[in-house]
């Protein structure tokens, strides 16, 4: 009976640990991943001006992304390579 109780305790500890890791991922890591994907999408489809050469083949530009109705949906800085211009 003691072995069964010990196995149950280890199962509970494992489930709680997995739940804690999952909660941390969804609370902190996943939003950062989503923001990065969204910013990369906006940068790839935006209109950019005022580009400053950073000297390493990249340019830092002020970019604006317009939605389907022509309204500004996002404004920010994008790092563009010479290949994306």
**Phi then psi for 8, rounded to 5 degrees?**
-65, -45
Locate the domains of the chain by residue range: 2-81
> Residue 54's pLDDT band (boundaries 50, 70, 90)?
confident
Q: How many CB atoms lie within 10 A of CB 60?
A: 15
pLDDT higher than threshold 80 for residue 3: no
Mean pLDDT of all residues in 6-25: 92
State the pLDDT at residue 85. 46
> Residue 13's pLDDT band (boundaries 50, 70, 90)?
very high
Residues 5, 49: Cα–Cα separation, whole Å? 66
Mean pLDDT of all residues in 60-69: 92
Query: What's the per-residue H, E or C state across 45-62?
Result: HCEEEEEEECCCCEEEEE
């Amino acid at each position: 009976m003691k072995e069964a109780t010990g196995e149950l305790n280890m199962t509970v500890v494992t489930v709680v640990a997995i739940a804690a890791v999952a909660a941390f991922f969804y609370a902190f890591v996943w939003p950062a991943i989503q923001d990065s994907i969204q910013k990369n999408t906006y940068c790839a489809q935006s209109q950019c001006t005022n580009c400053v050469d950073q000297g390493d083949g990249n340019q830092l530009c002020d970019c604006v992304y317009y939605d389907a109705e022509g309204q500004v949906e996002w404004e920010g800085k994008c790092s563009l390579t010479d290949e994306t211009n």
